[in-house]
Amino acid sequence: MNQKFRILLVDDDPDFIDINRTILESNGYEVDAAYTSDDALEKLKSLHFDLLIVDLMMEDRDSGFTIAYAVRENEKLQSLPILMLTSAEQKTGFKFQLSKDQEWMKVDDFAAKPLRPAELILRVKALLNKDS
């Protein structure tokens, strides 16, 4: 890995940021974190990132989607890969499926929380390779 990929983690639970940051950093990624959607959008506009990992449910029920929309609406950020994490499938009893909901979700990958380190790295690698 010649050049360090930069990843933005967005979650309102500091412990999940801490856990995912540790996993990603020990795999050689550079990590920044945001705890609110406003904070995340601010950072996305001013800094460069190669991947966005965002929690679906933050302070509001669907702020993860709000971020994903904002990213896709923005010309500069349109191609930024998004990995959405959520525990929503248990909460709503509805299993999200990427293929079916991709149009609406506007994200590149979707995973249920918590994600084991190996699984997270696998998904991150896949998204970053697709991009390059």
Partner 1 sequence: MNTNGEKILVVDDEEIIRIGCQRILEEYDCSVQLAENGRIGLEKLKSERFDLVLIDLMMPELGGLELLEEICKIDRNIVSIIITGFATIETAVEAIKKGAYDYLSKPFTPDEFRAKVGRGLEKRHLLLEAERLRKEAAKNLIECTKQKSRTQTIINSMAEGVIATSLDGTIGLVNPSAIKLLRIKNEKIVGNRIEGLLGIPELEGKIKSISKTFVPATFQFSTAENRFLQANITPIVSEESSVGTVTVLSDITEEKKIEEAKSNFVSLVSHELKAPLGAIEGYLTLILDGLTAGNAEKEHDIIQKSRDRAAELLDLINDLLDLSRTDRKKSLKAIKKIDMAQLLRDVCDFYQNEAKEKSILLDLTVADQLPAVQGSEEDLARLFSNLISNAIKYTPKGGVVNINADKKRSLLAVFVKDTGIGISKDEVGKIFDQFFRASSAVQQKIGGTGLGLSIARKIAEDHNGYIEVDSELGKGTTFTVYLTTTEDR
DSSP state of 113: S
Is 90 one of the binding residues for partner 1 (CB under 8 A)?
yes
For residues 88, 93, 98, 101, the Cα torsion angle rounded to the nearest 10 degrees is -100
Sign of CA dihedral 4, 14, 86, 68: negative
Is 16 one of the binding residues for partner 1 (CB under 8 A)?
yes
Binding mask 50-89 for partner 1 (x = CB under 8 A): ---------x---------------------------x--
Which residue's CB is nearer to partner 1, number 35 or number 70? 35
Is 26 one of the binding residues for partner 1 (CB under 8 A)?
yes
Instruction: Select from 63, 82, 113, 124 the one that contacts partner 1 (CB under 8 A).
Output: 113
Residue ranges in the chain assigned as alpha helix (H):
14-26, 37-46, 63-73, 88-92, 98-105, 117-131
Min CB(118)–partner 1 separation in Å: 8
Instruction: Select from 12, 66, 96, 111 the one that contacts partner 1 (CB under 8 A).
Output: 12
Question: What three-state secondary structure class fits 58?
Answer: coil
Q: CB under 8 Å to 116, separation ≥6 — which residues?
A: none
Q: Where on the chain is the footprint of partner 1 (CB under 8 A)?
A: 12-16, 18-20, 22-23, 26, 59, 87, 90-93, 113-114, 116-118
